[in-house]
Amino acid sequence: MKIAMIGTGYVGLVSGVCFSDFGHEVICVDKDPAKIEMLEAGRVPIYEPGLEDLMAKNVTAGRLSFTLNLKEAVQGAKAIFIAVGTPTRRGDGHADLTYVFAAAEEIADSLEDYAVVITKSTVPVGTNRKVKQLIQKAHPDLEFDVASNPEFLREGAAIDDFMRPDRVIVGVQNERATEIMAKIYRPLFLRDFPIVITDLESAEMIKYAANAFLATKITFVNEIAALCERVGADVKQVSKGIGLDGRIGNKFLHAGPGYGGSCFPKDTKALARIGQEAGMPMQITETVINVNDETKRRMVDKITDLCGGAVSGKTIAVLGVTFKPNTDDMRDAPSLTIVPALIGGGAKVRVVDPQGLNEGEALLPGAHWFEDAYKAAQNANAVVILTEWNEFRALNLKRLAKRMETPRMADLRNIYSPKDAKKAGFVAYCAVGRRGFGPDGWDG
């Protein structure tokens, strides 16, 4: 089947490459000439493990190509995916659908034969029906269907998530569209991965509900972590104890500096806005948003306390600034709250991140970038572990402590234990939801 993928951002590019690996002929469309030039040269504009190699394989096989010409891409296509950005709209928290509707208008001007127009972007409930109305108004005689096919890709594990999904959600209106979608996902049908067929509105809601629930789990355990610090409990033991309950599960129960990224912040805000407009406030989701913001700010206080009550004049090495490991994505990362606050407080901040420089250099003005954790820690007053990249999970703590002027650690991902930190020579250590230690009996 010929597939047109409109948008070569994270979702569009990963989806287009993986669909081509299913054996489909895929043409990816974008308005950015520099991005298309980069893709045609075999380079990907995002960091995602394995994506560049898989893209090269399918380009070589003749199944994958890139173009600036949308009209050319949709000619003969039976499936046209809209995978453009839906950022938070400034001022009201709603998803900005400008790019979705612009793509729909271009499709209406370009499509000549029957196709299914499929929204893969995360969109509020009712958007697919608006897309259909828009195309119908512009091209009344056109025969087409719309479908909702939200993505559930984890950055850093997107290819595996696409090829071995927990489930595929497909919202359709009739049997003809269902058949097209079944052909697109035939390799997954054959391997018995769950394909859930719903109406349009349910598919749209599933995406928001899933992300809001996961964000709630993260925020819940972070709030429990704050309480653990006050009462002397260990959040890692608490998380293990509750996670063994099959009704709860152990995923997304790791305490840390708050969630970030391209999905959770945007989708929780959008869901809250959808609820307000529908006269059914999403009170839990609204609280999650507020508590998550408070969690990030609490990390600044934690680092300040670690440094003796003030960071002015202190040199602090921050290990990891992307919102999670195995991605270069900085969107709503905790570092965007924490690092500027430290710099604003008078600290000299040194940053180390395997993939964060490309975006982070502009987003974190005033930070000094290093390629090596040990060099960043040279004569530093504190080291902060903010993103759990593998290279930060296996640090030589003794070597790190020896290089520092005052060996103090804020382990905001709970990678190490207080015992290991003390044995390595650290004089102060704090984590999230666990007891720390410091001079004169200070308990972080």
Active-site amino acid positions:
263
Calpha distance 396→410 (Å, rounded): 16
Nearest of 70, 65, 103 to residue 84 by alpha carbon:
103
Calpha distance 209→267 (Å, rounded): 9
Calpha distance 5→21 (Å, rounded): 14
**Is 343:415 a contact under the CB 8 Å cutoff?**
no
**Residue type at position 69:** N
**Residue type at position 325:** P
Calpha distance 167→437 (Å, rounded): 45
- Cβ partners under 8 Å of residue 298, min gap 6: 226
Calpha distance 75→5 (Å, rounded): 12
**Residue type at position 416:** Y
**Is 184:178 a contact under the CB 8 Å cutoff?**
no
| Alpha-helix runs per DSSP H in 111-163 | 127-138, 158-163
**Secondary structure of residue 272 in the 3-state scheme:** helix
| Sign of the CA dihedral with 229 first, then 234, 238, and 240 last | positive
Calpha distance 233→231 (Å, rounded): 6
**Residue type at position 444:** G
Distance set, CA 176 to CA 135, 146, 442 (Å):
18, 11, 67
**Secondary structure of residue 3 in the 3-state scheme:** strand
